[in-house]
Amino acid sequence: MLINERDTRRERLIQVANEMMTAARTAPKGKGIDVIEAVMVTDETIKHLSDAMLTYSAKSGLKFFLRDAENILHAEAIILIGTRQQVHSLNCGYCGFETCAEKNEHPDVPCAINTVDVGIAVGSAVAVAADRRVDSRVMFSVGKAAGELGLLPGCSSIYGIPISCSSKNPFFDRVSKTPASK
């Protein structure tokens, strides 16, 4: 039997994506409270996400969304990691309010502990990608568009991690083919 690497690439990449979600799930969390959500985006949903990034760029004026929207079309899968908002009754003040009760009066302000939890989960996920020699890049832009689309309902502080298995990492040395409109 002869199995060509090119014929099994997608299957192996999806397995790594699943392992990345496991790493995000098992990453340490503040007070051990699990408020992390992780999903995998593939196929036509990547195109839908790319289109949403183009729309967000036009709305926000953020031009790097254009480059990133093109760039994720080279991904076989994208891992989205975000957090549901839940205060931890620590009254730590890291969010800018003295107490969690005061912070709760401002639901648009994320709990700092939750935000740190997302960072740790993202770090754990990309460590898996690195260990498995899969190309990846953490992208705020992908997470922002995913939030706009409601791909992680009830979550904020969402980040996207596109992954690829090719001869050159498509997520670095990126140049947009789309001219920035004025």
Q: How many helices (H) and strands (E) does the chain have?
A: 6, 4
Q: Tell me which amino acid residue 156 is.
A: S
The CATH architecture that domain 21-164 belongs to is 3-Layer(aba) Sandwich (3.40)
Residue-by-residue pLDDT tens, the chain, 182 positions: 999 988 889 999 999 999 999 999 999 998 899 999 999 999 999 999 999 999 999 999 999 999 999 999 999 999 999 999 888 889 999 999 999 999 999 988 889 999 999 999 999 999 999 999 999 999 999 999 999 999 999 998 999 999 999 888 888 876 666 655 55
User: In angstroms, rounded to a whole number, what is the distance separating the alpha carbons of residues 126 and 132?
Assistant: 10
91's CB contacts (< 8 A; 6+ apart) are 98, 99, 100
15's CB contacts (< 8 A; 6+ apart) are none
